[in-house]
Amino acid sequence: MSAKSGKILVVDDNLGIRQALKILLPICFDSVETISSPSTLVSMLESFRPDVVLLDMNFNTSINTGNEGLYWVSEIKKMVPDVEVVLFTAYADIQLAVEGMKRGAFDFVVKPWDNEKLIGILTSARDKARRAMGRDTRSASGMTTKGPGMTGDVEAGSAGNIMFWGSSKSMAAIRKTVQKIAPTDATVLITGENGTGKDVMAREIHAHSLRSEKPMVAVDAGAITETLFESELFGHVKGAFTDAHTDHAGKFEQADGGTLFLDEIGNIPLHLQAKLLRVIQSRSVVRVGGSQSIPVNIRLICATNMDLEALVREGRFREDLYYRINTLHITLPPLRERKEDIVPLAELFAAQFAEKYHRPLTGIDGSAAEILKAQRWNGNIRELQNCIEKAVILSEGKNLTAKDIQVDSSGISSSRMSGQSSSSEAKNIAWDEERMVRDAIESARGNISAAAKILGVSRPTFYAKMKKYGL
């Protein structure tokens, strides 16, 4: 059972986005309300009393400059200072979002968003707000969570944030390693394919560390533009650049006393890696435009799906930085290498989505289990989660059956298809991908943003897939 607590108010004029978030957010929030315009924001703040406001930067008004969003950030913080504001912004408007953070916003999320990162930011904002308001953060079962940390073996958060250890030997070994290293301050590098849960593992380590009562600040290092890299990570002083009206603490300072999680570290450009290395080595930052060295006490966790050793050999990643972040190394196995965990994971997802969508499910029958075990799951746990969510939505009985599991035989593991050539297998994989894209579009009723979220990819990636298959 995933932990749920708090209230969130979504303010966005895009109906598809409001519908998608109305489906996603109840997994980790007790109450979710959405409005299409800030015109009713004041009354909603008074009547609904949210912990977090997810606020779009632009609305369908005559002026789309983000100024309306900036105005409402300031107004919300004046009216209810303990309510945390997370900004929704397009990639081109990141500078406006930075300005919003100067005015008191907790963080910002770039559209199209990644579900796991969005949930991580929103739950962190919720926990900060509830601590400030004197409320404790409890799960549905009454267990107190540690901010965005763990309760037992299940991550507090969305179905996509599950730390499920399972029974495979590989995960048992990793669990022992985590138990040993979590209480230390050693730097950890987490690697693995997309969808294996690297960010969830980072939260697991933080939650069982001596810093668990302090914040864990997560940064998608590869998504920060080069012009904002230093300002976002190291901070800036008033007057450092245009519109720098106040001092701003960067992510390193925000994580002081806690954990800094640098996700997608392999995507950082080479010339910026040197600046990151200096800060990691010295454990101090100098804000952009400043001269004072500010010490930071952090525990560093990094993650990537890239082969950093290969990047080092190619001269695309600094060798000294690699060794600095690789004190301890955890490699998460793909789901195809822990087949004994597929059905238990699916059962856990099914229980969560049954509660979410109010379905009277009690389990997964044998026919469905066999199909699940035979699949390749190239998208790993994230793909399995999406498959089970769709199955629960379409189910009619008390158990998920083979007819509820919408997968194609082309997705069956090659070990179950004797004599299949590599070219034939590649064609099958492509056909399976095309079908997944078609199914996502159908499930989202043509809403491309919602369809991209179903598959857990960005909107540009989804458009590329549509173009590839002529959809």
Nearest CA among 431, 427, 443, 437 for reference residue 457: 437
Whole-model pTM: value is 0.56
Which homologous superfamily is 7-132 in? Response regulator (3.40.50.2300)
Instruction: Give the pLDDT score at 427.
Output: 43
How far apart, in whole angstroms, are the C-alpha atoms of residue 398 and residue 402?
13
CA distance 28 to 9: 13
The residue-averaged pLDDT of 459-465 equals 74
Rounded Cα distance, 105 and 53, in Å: 10
Q: Which CATH number fits domain 337-468: 1.10.8.60, 1.20.1090.10, 1.10.3210.10, 3.40.1350.10?
A: 1.10.8.60
pLDDT digits (tens, 9 = 90+) for 286-304: 998 888 899 999 999 999 9
d(CA 379, CA 382): 6
Phi first, then psi, for residue 87 (nearest 5°) are -95, 140
Please give the average per-residue pLDDT across 339-351, as a whole number.
90
Nearest one of 182, 246, 258 to 218, comparing CA atoms: 258
Higher pLDDT, 184 or 146: 184
The predicted structure's pLDDT at residue 362:
83
d(CA 304, CA 261): 11
**DSSP per-residue letters across 1-35:** ------EEEEE-S-HHHHHHHHHHGGGT-SEEEEE
Query: What are the DSSP E strand ranges found in 287-440?
Result: 293-295, 299-304, 328-331, 363-364, 399-400
Please determine, for residue 7, whether its predicted confidence score (pLDDT) is greater than 50.
yes
pLDDT value, residue 126: 92
pLDDT digits (tens, 9 = 90+) for 230-279: 888 998 888 877 777 788 888 999 999 999 999 999 989 999 999 999 99
Tell me if 7-132 shares its fold with 163-331.
Answer: yes
Q: Six-digit token pair at 88? A: 């929704």
Note the pLDDT of residue 298.
Answer: 95
Among the ranges given (49-58, 163-172, 199-208, 414-423), the one the predictor scored with the smallest mean pLDDT: 414-423
Ranges of H-type helices in 364-421: 366-374, 380-394
Q: How far apart are CA 53 and CA 34, in angstroms?
A: 10
Which among 44, 78, 218, 95 is positioned nearest to 148, based on CA atoms? 218
Q: What is the pLDDT of residue 158?
A: 30
Predicted local confidence at residue 202, as pLDDT: 95
- The architecture CATH gives domain 163-331: 3-Layer(aba) Sandwich (3.40)
Domain residue extents for the chain: 7-132, 163-331, 337-468
The 10s digit of each residue's pLDDT in 60-112 is 554 445 577 888 998 899 889 889 999 988 765 677 777 788 888 888 888 88
Specify whether the CB–CB gap between 24 and 158 falls below 8 A. yes
Q: Check if the beta carbon of residue 148 is closer than 8 Å to that of residue 203.
A: yes
pLDDT of residue 3: 62
CA–CA distance, 61 with 68 (Å, rounded to integer): 9
Q: Side-chain half-sphere of 169: how many Cα atoms within 13 Å? A: 1
Which stretches of 182-269 are DSSP H helices? 198-207, 226-234, 251-254
Q: Which element (helix H / strand E) includes 459?
A: helix 459-468
pLDDT of residue 369: 92
CA nearest neighbour of 196 among 100, 120, 270, 303: 303
For the segment 316-333, what is each residue's pLDDT rounded down to a tens digit?
999 999 999 999 999 999
